């Protein structure tokens, strides 16, 4: 950069760099014998004396240390935030050597951690003891084993009340208690003991500044605890909204996937953070010093809480490979976040999810866009590519292509089929097709593997009139058809297009069967009076030709307005393009004259150019123009 702040210049060029990462003292076996190992950047290989056979076990004792960083200065997904009162708020993760995934598709996932692509981790059981100053309040992945030792008797009673409170949170550690603790700086210690089963990672948050509240969410006979911990700087916003948002997220996501299997979900208020781990996540959002906050701050906080708590489902349980396919956790989760947001608050200002929100990205500079199926480290516009576009695509599938019933059944099948497993993109694609019996190859190919965009327009509208005699256009058409077919077609009915040389102004009147000799004779000879009364009786014929300047295939959604102001809607599936990828025509036989036709009137398909969507052509601008 040609210009930067003095602080940034000092940190970049003058100051000693933060010495981060794990410091490995040794790796030993169960008997205390040293084991050889090699460290390659962010990966460590344990050099076993012989391969580990199927069913065998290996005990590794690893001694390491890890310097906790001030993430507000050094950056990162965890560390501590320092307050002016001398206290720190710790959000600790990625603090221990974690196991890489070995799966039956790719073997070891040993791509280096460069920062964008997050994690691929196996499941395991954890027993973790954390010793901190005695006045700290802590939450972590897993079930607390010694609540009576680390909370006061009164706080234990409050927690018991929270376990039976399903409609509102119970404050367990009050703001008054937290304000006393944050001034004390106890020299005593307490050890918090947690156990977690079948989780892929472990996170911890601790501070003497924490307020804690909780409520219960019922799943069958089980209670799951929705929990929030936050400093007084988070109030009144956090006390009012956080735990309610956690509980709502668990209910919403479970309704589309599976009942949340873990015993709790915790939301931690950490400045400038938005990061997820099993059962616990850090979330930004605080009011001003006077306690006031804007809608932007409120909805930003709610959005990040719903999103990060939602990650418990994708990828903490449906355990996709984030190192390779960011969209499989971020995209699916952003879609689910949108569904949870609009049920939490129908007026939620969601900026990702609806198809129309991805139009500016998909219509942008192609040199700055990659397919969704791009490795995490090679994506230029990370939020649009890995979060926004997959979420919009899933909404298009649910709202427009498949419908709620088929989509929801297939999505739930995917979640249940692959929970606590390691799905690939193909597993998602195949399950959505397999469970719904809907051919979606065309959609997944276009939306996920290309950077094509959708643009469907109205090329031409012709008004036709029925005639007893053929026009030159009709005669030429019939001659071509007879060359392709053998046999006699029988008596004919002829269609004359308005504006052609054979069109006459007197034709411009509603169609009547009895005025067309051959058709009237056929009807009289073929149908009884009762059957004739049941025949359709269209008065007008409009042939509409749709073209597709964009590369993506999409259904054609059409809104037709008639002369009396009434409206009808039509939807032609994507298969309409299978024989001609450039343009297709459909004829609308109607009782009333058509005065207006609009393609995709509700902006359901991420059509990037709405100026060609209306007939008669008029100046139509999208909100993004």
Q: In what order do the strands lie in the sheet with 494-497?
A: 494-497, 457-467, 540-547, 583-590
Q: Are 314 and 333 in contact (CB under 8 A)?
A: yes
CB-CB contact of 507 with 496 (8 Å): yes
Q: Which residue has the higher pLDDT, 607 or 468?
A: 607
Selection from 198, 182, 84, 83 nearest residue 137 by Cα:
182
Decide: 359 and 388 in contact? Cβ < 8 Å: no
Cβ-proximal residues to 454 (8 Å cutoff; 6+ apart), any chain: 362, 550, 552, 554, 605, 606, 607, 608
Q: What is the pLDDT of residue 295?
A: 97
**CA 66 to chain CA centroid, nearest Å:** 34
Q: What is the token pair recorded at 41? A: 């950047």
Give pLDDT tens digits for 481-521: 765 655 556 788 888 999 888 888 888 899 999 999 999 99
**pLDDT value at residue 469:** 85
Q: Peptide bond before 616: cis, by omega within 30 degrees of 0?
A: yes
- What is the chain's mean pLDDT, rounded? 94
Give the mean pLDDT of 160-186.
97
Summarised one tens digit per residue, pLDDT across range 369-381 is: 999 999 999 999 9
Run of H or E including 109: none
Q: Does the pLDDT of residue 213 top 60, yes or no? A: yes
Give the pLDDT confidence score for residue 415 in this predicted structure: 98
Query: What confidence category does residue 619 fall into, taking pLDDT thresholds of 50, 70 and 90?
Result: low
Cβ(319)–Cβ(261) below 8 Å: no
Helices (H) and strands (E) in the chain, counts: 17, 27
pLDDT value of residue 487: 52
pLDDT per residue as tens digits for the range 405-430: 999 999 999 999 999 999 999 999 99
Question: CB neighbours of 572 closer than 8 A, spacing ≥ 6?
Answer: 555, 556, 558, 584, 586
CA 601 – CA 587 distance, rounded (Å): 19
pLDDT of residue 623: 43
Rounded to whole angstroms, how far apart are CA atoms 18 and 70? 9
What one-character DSSP code corresponds to residue 90? E
Q: State residue 486's pLDDT score.
A: 53
CA distances from 154 to 38, 81, 239, 289, 503 (A): 51, 29, 19, 30, 91
Query: How far is it, in rounded angstroms, from Cα 351 to Cα 510?
Result: 48
The answer, yes or no, to whether residue 59 has pLDDT greater than 50, is yes
Residue 377 structure tokens? 């480290």
Residue from 553, 543, 468 nearest 498 by CA: 543
* 625 — pLDDT class (breaks 50, 70, 90): very low
User: What are 449's two structure tokens?
Assistant: 């593997």
The answer to whether 200 touches 101, Cβ cutoff 8 Å, is no
- Higher local confidence (pLDDT), 283 or 501: 283
Give the pLDDT confidence of 337-391 residue by residue, as tens digits.
999 999 999 999 999 999 999 999 999 999 999 999 999 999 999 999 999 999 9
Write down the pLDDT at residue 7. 82
The band of 624, judged by pLDDT with boundaries at 50, 70 and 90, is very low
Taking the C-alpha atoms of residue 498 and residue 500, their distance in angstroms, rounded to an integer, is: 6
The three-point CA angle 491-493-498 to 5° equals 160
CA–CA distances in Å: residue 12 to residues 8, 68, 70 = 6, 20, 16
pLDDT at 485: 57
pTM of the model: 0.93
Residue environment code for 402-440, b if the CB has 16+ CB neighbours within 10 A, otherwise e = beeebbbebbebbbebbbeebbbbebbbbbbbebbebeb
Distance in Å from the first CA to the final CA of the chain: 32
| SS3 assignment, position 152 | coil
Place of tokens 């009012």: 240
76: which residues sit within 8 A by CB, 6+ positions away? 20, 69
- Inter-residue contact 251 to 243 (CB < 8 Å): no
């Amino acid at each position: 950069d040609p210009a930067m702040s003095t602080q940034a210049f000092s940190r970049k060029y003058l100051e000693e760099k933060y010495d981060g990462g794990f410091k490995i003292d040794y790796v030993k076996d169960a008997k205390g014998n040293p084991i050889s190992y090699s460290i390659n950047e962010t990966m460590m290989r344990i050099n076993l004396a012989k391969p580990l056979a199927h069913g065998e076990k290996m005990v590794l004792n690893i001694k390491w240390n890890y310097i906790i960083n001030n993430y507000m200065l050094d950056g990162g997904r965890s560390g501590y935030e320092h307050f002016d009162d001398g206290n720190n708020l710790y959000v600790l993760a990625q603090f221990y050597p974690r196991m890489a995934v070995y799966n039956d598709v790719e073997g070891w996932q040993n791509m280096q951690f460069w920062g964008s692509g997050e994690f691929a981790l196996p499941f395991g059981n954890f027993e973790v003891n954390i010793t901190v100053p005695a006045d700290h309040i802590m939450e972590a992945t897993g079930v607390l084993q010694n609540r009576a030792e680390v909370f006061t008797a009164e706080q234990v009673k409050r927690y018991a009340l929270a376990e039976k409170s399903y409609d509102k949170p119970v404050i367990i550690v009050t703001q008054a208690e937290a304000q006393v603790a944050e001034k004390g700086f106890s020299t005593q210690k307490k050890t918090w003991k947690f156990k977690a089963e079948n989780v892929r990672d472990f996170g911890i948050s601790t501070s003497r500044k924490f307020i804690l509240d909780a409520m219960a969410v019922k799943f069958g006979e089980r209670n799951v605890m929705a929990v929030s911990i936050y400093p007084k700087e988070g109030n009144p916003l956090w006390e009012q909204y956080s735990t309610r948002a956690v509980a709502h997220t668990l209910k919403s996501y479970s309704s589309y996937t599976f009942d949340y299997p873990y015993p709790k979900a915790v939301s931690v208020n950490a400045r400038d953070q938005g990061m997820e781990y099993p059962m616990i996540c850090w979330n930004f959002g605080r009011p001003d010093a006077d306690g006031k906050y804007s809608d932007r701050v409120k909805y930003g906080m709610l959005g990040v809480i719903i999103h990060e708590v939602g990650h418990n489902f994708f990828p903490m349980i449906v355990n996709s490979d984030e190192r390779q396919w960011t969209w499989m956790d971020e995209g699916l989760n952003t879609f689910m976040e949108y569904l949870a947001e609009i049920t939490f608050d129908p007026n939620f200002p969601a900026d990702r999810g609806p198809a129309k929100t991805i139009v500016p990205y998909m219509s942008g500079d192609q040199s700055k866009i990659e397919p969704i199926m791009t490795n995490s480290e090679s994506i230029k516009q990370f939020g649009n590519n890995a979060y926004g576009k997959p979420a919009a695509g899933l909404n298009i599938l649910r709202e427009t292509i498949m419908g709620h019933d088929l989509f929801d059944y297939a999505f739930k099948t995917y979640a249940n089929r692959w929970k606590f497993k390691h799905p690939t993109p193909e597993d998602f694609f195949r399950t959505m097709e397999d469970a719904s019996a809907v051919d979606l190859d065309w959609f997944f190919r276009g939306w996920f593997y290309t950077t094509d965009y959708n643009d469907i327009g109205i090329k031409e509208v012709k008004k036709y009139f029925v005639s007893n005699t053929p026009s030159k256009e009709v005669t030429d058409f019939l001659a071509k058809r007879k060359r392709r077919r053998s046999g006699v077609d029988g008596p004919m009915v002829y269609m004359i297009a308005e504006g052609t040389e054979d069109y006459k102004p007197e034709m411009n009147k509603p169609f009547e069967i009895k005025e067309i000799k051959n058709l009237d004779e056929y009807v009289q000879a073929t149908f009884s009076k009762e059957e004739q009364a049941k025949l359709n009786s269209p008065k007008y014929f409009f042939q509409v030709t749709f073209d597709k300047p964009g590369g993506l295939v999409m259904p054609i959604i059409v809104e037709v307005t008639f002369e009396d102001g009434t409206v009808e809607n039509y939807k032609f599936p994507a298969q309409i393009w299978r024989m001609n990828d450039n343009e297709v025509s459909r004829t609308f036989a109607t009782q009333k004259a058509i005065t207006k036709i609009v393609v995709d009137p509700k902006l359901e398909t991420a059509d990037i150019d709405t100026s060609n969507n209306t007939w008669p052509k008029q100046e139509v601008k999208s909100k993004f123009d």
